[in-house]
Amino acid sequence: MITPDWTDDQPIYRQLRDKVVRALLEGSLKEGEPLPSVRTMALELEINPLTVSKAYQELVAEGLVEKRRGLGMYIVEGAREALREAERRRFLEEEWPRVCERIRALGLDAKTLMGTDGNGTGTGQGT
């Protein structure tokens, strides 16, 4: 599920938070399920337990995870849809304008874009 392939571009706790979010969006983590304990996650990923705790606290602050006294951290009901909506909004507000600018700069049109499979190989619709 979550692998310890860290990069240097952002703190590890943030990368761990993003990996949990991705697992939730992809369905490998489900609403109502517990997250691995801080200690277990730290051992599996070979990172400091404080790093895991900080990532989990970010998820709690975002309302995606709740702490159940004596039981651990659980993914809240509705977390996946809330995440999807937030990610859609972020994409449309932050990423899409850059994509559109790049499309314009390259002189691409809708027919050309629809005729690719996303890898530029021309095997999608319209070819």
Q: Where are the alpha helices (DSSP H) in 1-127?
A: 12-26, 38-45, 49-61, 79-90, 96-106, 110-114
pLDDT tens digits, 54-85: 999 999 999 999 999 989 999 999 999 998 89
**What's the confidence (pLDDT) of residue 11?**
92
Q: Give the CATH fold of the 12-77 domain.
A: Arc Repressor Mutant, subunit A (1.10.10)
Write down the domain spans for the chain. 12-77, 80-114
What is the rounded distance in angstroms from the CA atom of residue 15 to the CA atom of residue 90? 17
Q: What is the pTM of this model?
A: 0.70
Binning pLDDT at 50, 70 and 90, where does residue 126 land?
Answer: very low
1 compared with 123, residue with greater pLDDT: 1
Largest CA distance in the chain: 58
Binning pLDDT at 50, 70 and 90, where does residue 114 land?
Answer: confident
Tell me which residue of 14, 84, 3 sits closest to 56, measured CA to CA: 14
With H, G, I as helix, E, B as strand and everything else as coil, classify residue 19: helix
**What's the confidence (pLDDT) of residue 118?**
58
Confirm if 42 and 49 have CB atoms less than 8 A apart.
yes
